[in-house]
Structure 1
Amino acid sequence: KMVWKLVFQLMLMFQVAAAAAPIARSGCPDRCGDISIPYPFGIRKDCYMNEWFAIECNASVNPARAFISRINMEVLNISAERATATVKSPIISSNCTGREDGVPLNLTGTPFVFSRYDNVFIAVGCNTQALMTGITPNLIGCVSTCSDVKSKNFCEALLPSSLQVFNPRIEATDDNQDREGCKLAFLVNHTWFESNVSDPFSLQSRDYVPAELGWAMNVNADDPVYCRGYYNESFRSECECDGGYEGSPDLGCIDVDECKESKHSCRGLLKCVNTRGYFNCEINKLYIALIATSIESLPTRKRKREMECALVKKSAICKEEGTKGKAMVPCLR
């Protein structure tokens, strides 16, 4: 009985593995250590959508570490379904003994933004004001007051739409109290913060916290892809293949051959010719040749009218040159 149970479990595992959809382009590695690398990201050339989504995998350490090359941010997780990447977000500090200050971030000009719905702005310290700079005309920040319970000396603020710059200014609100005290500011995944941090001051021993990046697909005008940006649980662009194409914008849109699949409206003497994203109806040259051969033995004037009729697709009227100009006469049946 145990043997059959084991066989059944193995068969089930194989079926699940076979049914799982590929997350990377064919022939491309889909992991860097413990981290899945789904398209539009990729590790090798021709495996990512464009240079912004290139992943550098440092396999010289254990476990391997993945970085979004162009913005030099370390990746902790990527979800293609939610269009978010969990990255190491720096902690900016002021007057904190024994720690190096984090480096501000500027993602301007990239397809990445800090997810408005997944992240929150946190400032830690007694009588501390933290404002995010470089995002005019918006004014985003918060003020933390002093409390007898040290773990409550923090404040938070919601993020604006499409935030790409994180360069907070931290300062004391009271010149006579805690001016030199340790103060922190950071962007963090709010679910992680609520679940893992009971005392925000404990984060001064960390270099980073996890935050979520959203991204928008940047497609060329000639690509058969339609995208619309929107906000749901994160910032992303929903894209689909144009009409006349099938497949996925992530892994490629393939032209539908309407002629082979009988999805055209060409009838009679018209032949279907497939084009990118559509089809054309053209006069079948074979039929023209047959018609020309069949009327070759007709008298010259009659042959001329018949040829003109054939070329206008069996029109009931033909042109005939007369001695006093052009006249319209019925075609020969």
Structure 2
Amino acid sequence: MEQVHNFLTKEAGTRMFQILLLLGSLLLHEQGSQAAPLVKGNCTQKCGEVTIPFPFGIGTGCFLDEWYEIVCQESSNGSVPVLNKVNLRVLNISLPDYDGNTNGIINVSLPILYSSNVSCGVNKSFAPVSLKGSQFVFSESRNVFAAVGCGIRFLMDDTKSAIIGCTSSCGADNDVVGNVTCSGSDGCCQTTITSDLQAFRVNFQPNNGTVGNNECKYAFLGDRSQFVPATTDFDELRASGRFAAVLEWGIAESSEPALEIYNYDYISGDSYYCSTVGFNLGYRVAMPFLQCSCRGGFTGNPYIRHGCEGKSLRYHISIFCSSNHSCKFLILALQISLGALLLLLLLWLLYKFMMKRKEIKLKERYFKQNGGLLLQQQLHSSENNVDNSKLTEYSAKGGQGTVYKGMLADGGIVAIKKSKAIHKGKVEQFINEIAILSQINHRNVVKLLGCCLETELPLLVYEFIPNGTLFQYLHAPNEEFIVSWDTRLQIATEVAGALSYLHSSASIPIYHRDIKSTNILLDDKYRAKVADFGTSKSVMLDQTHVTTRVQGTFGYLDPEYFQSSQFTDKSDVYSFGVVLVELLTGQKPISFLRDDEERNLASYFLLSMDDNRLFDIVDAEVLKQGKKEGIVAFASLARSCLNLHGKTRPPMKEVAIELERIRKLENPAMKHGHTQEKRKTNKCWESVVASFPSNINIFSARLATVIVSSRLDVDKQISSIKIRR
């Protein structure tokens, strides 16, 4: 033991720690590389100065599929690699990094987008780049959207529901000032992008009419590490026509190569590692893909057979021991240490197991003590099992997930929303929607019947609304049902009543934050139901606004909110004003068939009102059935809702009252209908929602069913969904 103690000096301790790591790795991994199924050989490895690793390749049989094909083009500057499918020049390709925990990336050269070729002094136009259909996205963390120009608002308008853009202004001489920081006040602005971006176009909008059409404005998506405003020559940048950007890539999880990897058990080896990850695409969609990387200590390409190379662990141990004859004493000491560590680990695991079991027993006791068994029996007696064989997808995939039509065992029909992917942001949106809808009991708000959080993907169960969205009936009309003027007034009045309830009569005021015709559903009697509360916010009674990241739908977004990032109840009023104009005109909120200044429906409507051309844009059905006085009153109300200054817009309560007045004006014989129901709160559900942030397992580990009362007679009508473990 004295000899062993002498070796445990500072120098020997360092050597012992290194060998400990090697021995631990040796125990965890088998020696030698397993064979990878994707093998490509005899292919050109470089084009110019750029190395082309598989799955990318040059020539037939050297690339995974057409999206990974590289064409080596000759130019005056030598050979240039081009990503053939999207016609982008490649600057560099990097494989996924195991140690750095980074995705595979491609550095490419993207075109700069100009407002006008003539004013910007460029000779040719560049079409916007589209990556749709590929396994590539523009990297959210590595790219920045930047724009240059005076008094202009730059919007990326091919980004589905997310609004991306920035606003820039200049000094008195309307020129880009010196010491540019791209803060927005020096003729340059910049902003981040969403994680789902695969295609975009730039919409150049004048800001308060302070800029002429002849001035050059341009925008680009670029690598944030290469765009340093203070040192950038903007004249040279404008003339160059291109800027470096970063794409992230992977192999689609459902593709044949990915399935081949699964079939060959290629998920893990001692020299490489493959995992399924996903580009988290914000609200809308997720693209799962497979990425492989060489483990630490190995280098090469994990996508080809024996692509990861490195020395064996036993070889490294032999290096340590070859120069020291007493290495065997170190190994003996290490073996003893490892044995002691394993024993301690087993004892710790046993302790954790006993504590967990004790906790479960304690929960079971409290469950019985607090009447849990009685509640479980009551729920069991009324529960209806969902027939999985009768689940059918009945609507398009939405922002947060896919909606299915489900049939209960008793023949009842429900709508089941299934989240698209396991992502923290999406889970928070689902929880937020549950918490918001649990506070609402209104005939014109879609009812949440239940939820399940113990499945891999969270589920929400709603009442089934059979007739689709208002958007479909206005913009894709059905000859069997034409939306009459009276029906339009009814829908507007019902939605206004629901929003008035949310803003003024709910126990806690609620801002919807995404009012649009696609979020207004129609039931079997064509009554309106407001839906999709994933982005909604509840506020304190004395709170006038919420400050959030700008989020909404292009065409419905309050311009005041876009400028200040402060959402108020008047922001919902603006969005509802756009819906009123849709009902009045039958036109879409954004249309590229109209002129640039009239592309936005709200702007088009206000210009028509100013020019006394209201009846030129009103829908033919409205003109045929409506009274002139009622149409003018309806248009005036929409105009007040679309006021650019939020404080001058009417509150939703006044809007609802005015719409009731207009309905009576159009139909004097109409009986006054009370549009709001008295709210009844399910006490049990309130306690569940109150515990959501800290305890997602509803009631207890043994109770996996959540019931939300959605009808006036709670005792007679209970809807429930049973989710089997």
Equivalent runs, 1:168-179 vs 2, <5 Å = 168-179=202-213
Offset, 1:101: 3.2
**1:158 and 2:158 correspond:** no
Which string of whole-angstrom CA distances, capped at 9 and with x for unpartnered residues, describes residues 161-212 of structure 1?
1210121111221324344311011100011011884343542111100001
Offset, 1:87: 0.8
State whether residues 34 and 63 of structure 1, in contact with CA within 8 Å, keep that contact through their aligned partners in structure 2. Answer: no
**1:143 and 2:172 correspond:** no
Identity over the aligned pairs, expressed in percent?
A: 32
CA distance in 1, matches of 2:247, 2:222: 11
Which string of whole-angstrom CA distances, capped at 9 and with x for unpartnered residues, describes residues 108-157 of structure 1?
11111101111000011111111011211111101011136254311111
Partner of 2:144: 120
Counterpart residue type for residue 216 of structure 1: G
Counterpart residue type for residue 54 of structure 1: E
**1:223 and 2:264 correspond:** no
State whether residues 129 and 144 of structure 1, in contact with CA within 8 Å, keep that contact through their aligned partners in structure 2. Answer: yes
Partner of 2:232: 198
Partner of 1:98: 121
CA distance in 2, matches of 1:41, 1:196: 36
Aligned residue for 2:243, secondary structure, equals strand
Alignment RMSD, CA only? 2.9
**1:31 and 2:64 correspond:** no
1:72 to 80, 87, 110: 87
Which string of whole-angstrom CA distances, capped at 9 and with x for unpartnered residues, describes residues 18-69 of structure 1?
xxxxxx9432111001111111110022221222101101146541011111
Partner of 2:64: 49
Aligned residue for 1:67, secondary structure, equals strand
Aligned residue for 1:142, secondary structure, equals strand
Aligned residue for 2:78, secondary structure, equals coil
CA distance in 1, matches of 2:229, 2:47: 27
State whether residues 114 and 120 of structure 2, in contact with CA within 8 Å, keep that contact through their aligned partners in structure 1. Answer: no
Q: How many residue pairs end up in the alignment?
A: 224
CA distance in 1, matches of 2:289, 2:71: 23
CA distance in 1, matches of 2:148, 2:240: 14
CA distance in 1, matches of 2:77, 2:211: 45
Counterpart residue type for residue 215 of structure 2: G
Closer, same or farther: CA 60–165 of 1 in aligned 2, 3 Å: closer
Partner of 2:107: 86
Closer, same or farther: CA 237–140 of 1 in aligned 2, 3 Å: farther
**1:109 and 2:133 correspond:** yes
Offset, 1:237: 4.3
Aligned residue for 2:228, secondary structure, equals helix
**1:238 and 2:291 correspond:** yes
State the TM-score, normalizing by the size of structure 1. 0.60
Partner of 1:18: none
State whether residues 76 and 85 of structure 1, in contact with CA within 8 Å, keep that contact through their aligned partners in structure 2. Answer: yes
CA distance in 2, matches of 1:141, 1:184: 13
**1:129 and 2:153 correspond:** yes
Aligned residue for 1:165, secondary structure, equals coil
Partner of 1:40: 55
Counterpart residue type for residue 66 of structure 2: E
Closer, same or farther: CA 41–201 of 1 in aligned 2, 3 Å: same
1:184 to 180, 203, 218: 218
Closer, same or farther: CA 250–31 of 1 in aligned 2, 3 Å: same
Offset, 1:158: 0.4
Unpaired segments of 5 or more residues in structure 1? 1-23, 242-246, 255-333
Aligned residue for 2:225, secondary structure, equals helix
Aligned residue for 1:156, secondary structure, equals strand
State whether residues 55 and 66 of structure 1, in contact with CA within 8 Å, keep that contact through their aligned partners in structure 2. Answer: yes
State whether residues 72 and 79 of structure 2, in contact with CA within 8 Å, keep that contact through their aligned partners in structure 1. Answer: yes
CA distance in 2, matches of 1:75, 1:118: 16
